[in-house]
C-alpha cells in the first residue's frame, strides 16, 4: 500500500510515471517495501499479453531485466509474484504476465509460449531502468522447456535461468511423475500402468497432451547464452537426476561453456522447503534458492560464468519412453468398446423404466439382469472418472492404499468382479430360457466388459 503522507504518495506516483515511459504502460501501486509495480501490455504478433513489471525503487540506476515464464496451467501473473518480488529486491527488473488468452495445457505449443517470452524481453529492453544488454528469461517447470527454446530462437535473450526443469519430453516427464506419486502412495507396480500411464498414452496419441513431441535437448544444444539451471533435491514432478545429466550433455554438445547447474537441497518441485517432496510445503523458499539466482545474474556484469556443475541428485525411479499404442489400445477400438458397453447397460436400464419385458421371467433372471446392467454402468463410468482425475491431478491426489490399491479403485475392482459373476450367471439362465433380444444385447455388453476390465487393471489381483 502507498504511504498515507500526501507528499510521499505524490513522489511515488511521479517516480512510477518516470519509469513507465514506454508505450502501453499504466502505473500500478508500489509494494510496501518500495518496489514499484507497473501494469503493462505487450504484443506477440496479433496476440496481446498483460503483465506487471516489478522494479526496485528508481535511483537512476539501470538494472538487469528478467522475464518470468510460468509453469503449466492457465496461470496469471501473480502465480510467481513471490519470486518476482524476491528478485526485484535484489536489484532486477522483473516482468510477470498472464498466460495468453485461450491457453490450454493440452493444445498450446511451447513455440507460441517462447515467442510470448521473447516479446516480453523486447518490451523490457525499452525501459529506461533496464540495461538492454542484460535481459534474460527465467522458467519454472513447463517454463523450463520454454525458456531455453526462447533463447535458442532470439539473440534478444541475454541469459537463461530455469528451475524445476526437465530435459525429457513433456509426456515422458508426466508419466514418470504419475508413477512416482503412485509408488509413494503404495500402489502396487502391476496397477501403475493401468491407473497412471495408459490413458495418458492415449491422449498423447490423440494429440491432446500439449507439446508431447517437443525435444528439450534439441533446444538446449542451440543455447549459446549463459545458462543457470536449478534442480530440486526432492523434485517429484520432473526427474531431477536424469534432467541434470541431460542438461550437461546437451549444453556440452552445443559447445556452451557458460552454464551453471546447481542442486537446491531440501527443496520440492516448486523450490519450497521440503523434507520429502511429498509433504505439504510451508510456503517458504528453500534455502539458497533465490540467492543463487540473483547472485548468478549479478555476476554476469563482470564476465560470463565458467562451466560449473553439482553432482546430480539421487532419483529412485527411472523414466521410461512413452510406448506407442498396441492395436488393442487404439483409440477407435477403445471408443467402440465404450459405446457397446454404455449402450447395452444404459439401454437396458432406460428401456426397463418404460416397459418391463422381463415381467414374465423368473425373479432371479430379472435381478441378475439389473445387477449386470447397473453394476456395469457404474463401473465403466466410475473407472473413466477416476482415470481422468488421475490425468488432471498428475496422481497427486492419491492418498493411502488398501491391499496395494487406492480405496476407490478397490471398490471398482469389487464391482467389476460382481458384474462378471452376475453376467455369467445371467448368460447361463438366458441360454436355458431360449434367449431373448433384450437380454442378448445386455449379454453383448457384458462380454465386451470382461477384456475391457482386464486391460484397465480392474481384474488385476
Per residue in 11-27, is it b (16+ CB within 10 Å) or e — as a string?
A: ebeebbeebbebeebeb
Let me know if residue 284 belongs to a domain: yes
Strands 259-264 and 130-140: unpaired
Residues 432 and 393 reside in one and the same domain: yes
Hey, which residues does 229 pair with through a beta bridge? 162, 261
Please state, in angstroms and rounded to a whole number, the distance separating the CA atoms of residues 1 and 87. 20
**Averaged confidence pLDDT in the chain:** 89
In a domain, 147, yes or no: yes
Q: What is the dihedral of CA 328, 330, 332, 336, to 10 degrees?
A: 30
Query: Per-residue pLDDT for 225 more than 90?
Result: yes
Q: Mean pLDDT across the stretch 371-398? A: 96
Confidence class for position 282, pLDDT limits 50, 70, 90: confident
Using CA atoms, how far residue 376 sits from 223, 344, 357, 415, 435, in Å, is 54, 9, 20, 8, 20
| Count of the separate structural domains present in the chain | 2
Mean pLDDT for 411-419 is: 98
**Whether residues 105 and 219 fall in one domain:** yes
Q: What is the pLDDT of residue 15?
A: 36
pLDDT digits (tens, 9 = 90+) for 226-266: 999 999 999 999 999 999 999 999 999 999 999 999 999 99
Domain end, chosen from 309, 336, 358, is at 309
Rounded to the nearest 10 degrees, what angle do helices 363-393 and 437-455 cross at? 30
Residue 16 has a pLDDT of 35
CB 334 within 8 A of CB 325: no
Same domain, 96 and 172: yes
Tell me, what CATH number does 259's domain have?
3.40.50.1820
Which pLDDT does position 359 carry in this prediction? 54
Checking if the pLDDT of 289 tops 50, the result is yes
Instruction: Tell me if the pTM is above 0.75.
Output: yes
How far is it between the farthest Cα atoms of the chain? 95
* Residue 460: inside a domain: no
Asked whether residue 305 falls in the same domain as residue 331, the answer is no
| Rounded Cα–Cα distance for residues 151 and 140 (Å) | 15
Residue 33 makes CB contacts below 8 A (sequence gap 6+) with 85, 89
pLDDT of residue 302: 87
Q: pLDDT band for 121, please (50, 70, 90 cuts).
A: very high
* Residue 322 in domain: no
Check if the beta carbon of residue 57 is closer than 8 Å to that of residue 89.
Answer: no
pLDDT at 75: 86
Residue 325 in 3-state DSSP? Answer: coil
pLDDT tens-digit readout, 425-454: 988 887 766 556 778 889 899 999 999 999
Please check whether residue 320 lies inside any domain of the structure: no
Which pLDDT score, from 0 to 100, does residue 208 have?
86
Q: Where would I find the H helices in 67-209? A: 81-89, 110-125, 143-153, 170-185, 189-196, 198-205
pLDDT one-digit tens code per residue, 14-52: 333 333 333 333 334 444 468 999 999 999 999 999 999
* pLDDT tens-digit series, residues 65-98: 999 999 988 889 999 999 999 999 999 999 999 9
- Does the pLDDT at position 354 exceed 80? no
Q: Last residue of some domain: 258, 276, 309?
A: 309
Instruction: Find the mean pLDDT for residues 199-228.
Output: 93
Check whether residue 168 and residue 261 sit in a common domain.
yes
Could you tell me if 187 and 247 lie in one domain? Answer: yes
Looking at the structure, do residues 251 and 400 belong to the same domain, yes or no? Answer: no
Range of the domain at 141: 6-309
- Predicted confidence (pLDDT) at residue 10 exceeds the cutoff of 50: no
Residues 6+ apart with CB under 8 A from 363: none
| C-beta separation of 152 from 223 below 8 A | yes
pLDDT reported for residue 27: 39
Q: Is residue 217 in a domain?
A: yes
Specify the pLDDT at position 30.
41
Bridge-based pairing state of the strands 227-232 and 259-264: parallel
Whether residues 200 and 333 fall in one domain: no
Domain shared by 337 and 248, yes or no: no
* pLDDT tens sequence across 297-341: 999 998 899 999 999 999 989 999 999 999 999 999 999 999 999
pLDDT at 102: 84
Q: In this predicted structure, what is the pLDDT of residue 434? A: 56
User: In the listed set 260, 281, 309, which residue is the last one of a domain according to the structure?
Assistant: 309
In a domain, 318, yes or no: no
Does the structure show a pLDDT above 50 at 12? no
Query: Based on the domain organization, do 351 and 239 belong to the same domain?
Result: no
- How confident is the model at residue 428, as a pLDDT? 86
Q: Are 358 and 366 in contact (CB under 8 A)?
A: yes
Q: What does the pLDDT average to over 268-275?
A: 95
Q: Would you say residue 461 lies in a domain?
A: no
Residues 127-181 have pLDDT tens digits of: 999 999 999 999 999 999 999 999 999 999 999 999 999 999 999 999 999 999 9
Whether residue 346 is found in the same domain as residue 253:
no
Which element (helix H / strand E) includes 162?
strand 160-163
Same domain, 262 and 146: yes
Amino acid at each position: 500500500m502507498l504511504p498515507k503522507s500526501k507528499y510521499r504518495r505524490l513522489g511515488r506516483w511521479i517516480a512510477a510515471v518516470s519509469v513507465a515511459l514506454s508505450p502501453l504502460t499504466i502505473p500500478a501501486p508500489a509494494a510496501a517495501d518500495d518496489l514499484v509495480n507497473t501494469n503493462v501490455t505487450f504484443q506477440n504478433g496479433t496476440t496481446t499479453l498483460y503483465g506487471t513489471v516489478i522494479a526496485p525503487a528508481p535511483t537512476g540506476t539501470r538494472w538487469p531485466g528478467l522475464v518470468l515464464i510460468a509453469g503449466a496451467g492457465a496461470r496469471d501473473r501473480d502465480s510467481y509474484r513471490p519470486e518476482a518480488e524476491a528478485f526485484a529486491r535484489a536489484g532486477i527488473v522483473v516482468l510477470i504476465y498472464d498466460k495468453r488468452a485461450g491457453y490450454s495445457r493440452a493444445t498450446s505449443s511451447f513455440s507460441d509460449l517462447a515467442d510470448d517470452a521473447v516479446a516480453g524481453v523486447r518490451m523490457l529492453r525499452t525501459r529506461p531502468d533496464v540495461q538492454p544488454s542484460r535481459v534474460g528469461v527465467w522458467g519454472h517447470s513447463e517454463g523450463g522447456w520454454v525458456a531455453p527454446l526462447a533463447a535458442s530462437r532470439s539473440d534478444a535473450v541475454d541469459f537463461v535461468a530455469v528451475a524445476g526443469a526437465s530435459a525429457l519430453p513433456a509426456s515422458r516427464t508426466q508419466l514418470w511423475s504419475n508413477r512416482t506419486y503412485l509408488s509413494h502412495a503404495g500402489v502396487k507396480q502391476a496397477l501403475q500402468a493401468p491407473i497412471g500411464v495408459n490413458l495418458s498414452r492415449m491422449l498423447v496419441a490423440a494429440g491432446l497432451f500439449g507439446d508431447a513431441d517437443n525435444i528439450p535437448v534439441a533446444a538446449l544444444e542451440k543455447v549459446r547464452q549463459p545458462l543457470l539451471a536449478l534442480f530440486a533435491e526432492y523434485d517429484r514432478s520432473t526427474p531431477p537426476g536424469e534432467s541434470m545429466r541431460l542438461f550437461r550433455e546437451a549444453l556440452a554438445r552445443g559447445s556452451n561453456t557458460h552454464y551453471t547447474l546447481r542442486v537446491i537441497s531440501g527443496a520440492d518441485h516448486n523450490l519450497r522447503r521440503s523434507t520429502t517432496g511429498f509433504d505439504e510445503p510451508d510456503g517458504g523458499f528453500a534455502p539458497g534458492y533465490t540467492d543463487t539466482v540473483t547472485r548468478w545474474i549479478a555476476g554476469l556484469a563482470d564476465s560470463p560464468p565458467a562451466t560449473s556443475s553439482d553432482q546430480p541428485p539421487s532419483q529412485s525411479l527411472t523414466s521410461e519412453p512413452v510406448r506407442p499404442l498396441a492395436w488393442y489400445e487404439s483409440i477407435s477400438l477403445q471408443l467402440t468398446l465404450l459405446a457397446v458397453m454404455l449402450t447395452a447397460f444404459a439401454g437396458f436400464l432406460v428401456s426397463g423404466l418404460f416397459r418391463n419385458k422381463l415381467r414374465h421371467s423368473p425373479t432371479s433372471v430379472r435381478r441378475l439382469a439389473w445387477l449386470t446392467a447397473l453394476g456395469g454402468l457404474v463401473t465403466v463410468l466410475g473407472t473413466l472418472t477416476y482415470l481422468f482425475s488421475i490425468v488432471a491431478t498428475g496422481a497427486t491426489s492419491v492418498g493411502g492404499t488398501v491391499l496395494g490399491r487406492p480405496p476407490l479403485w478397490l471398490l471398482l475392482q469389487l464391482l467389476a468382479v460382481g458384474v462378471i459373476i452376475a453376467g455369467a450367471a445371467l448368460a447361463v439362465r438366458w441360454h436355458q430360457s431360449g434367449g431373448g433380444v433384450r437380454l442378448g444385447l445386455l449379454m453383448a455388453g457384458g462380454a465386451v466388459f470382461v477384456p475391457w476390465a482386464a486391460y484397465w487393471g480392474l481384474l488385476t489381483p
